[in-house]
Amino acid sequence: MSQFKIPQWEVNGMKLPFDFDDADTMDRYMEAIMQLQEDAKNIATEGTRADEIRSYCALFDKMYDHIFGAGTADKIFEGRKNIRLYDKTYDDFIGFVKRCRMQTQQAMMNKVNKYSGKRNQQKRNFH
């Protein structure tokens, strides 16, 4: 499989492989996103502001660790718990995933057009 270049999400000086075209990767991604949405319903709203921030950040830590492996969130954020930092990083990740999806869709369309064009031309030449 080394002939395929797996896209890498670059974050905080790290490169994390994310293969949008791999079923196992997409399972982990979808599970993590669904769990994030579910857990967000139970985010801590009592306690100190610091408790709320840590609870919020923990949602994303869990997501990144599920997708990329245990300890990934600690490496990305280097122990910092800051809502703006987490939101910016999440926006960047979702943008990366969207670009991967667009590249895959474009490659699929190019492949379909490449082969359907030949068939149509062959049919026209045959008749």
pTM value is 0.82
CA distance 120 to 127: 11
33 close to 25: Cβ distance less than 8 angstroms? no
Domain ranges of the chain: 25-126
Q: pLDDT tens digit string along 52-89?
A: 999 999 999 999 999 999 999 999 999 999 999 999 99
pLDDT of residue 104 exceeding 90? no
Neighbouring residues of 7: CB distance < 8 A, sequence distance ≥ 6: 17, 18, 19, 20, 96, 100, 103
CA distance 49 to 85: 16
Residue 106: band (very low, low, confident or very high) from pLDDT cuts 50, 70, 90: confident
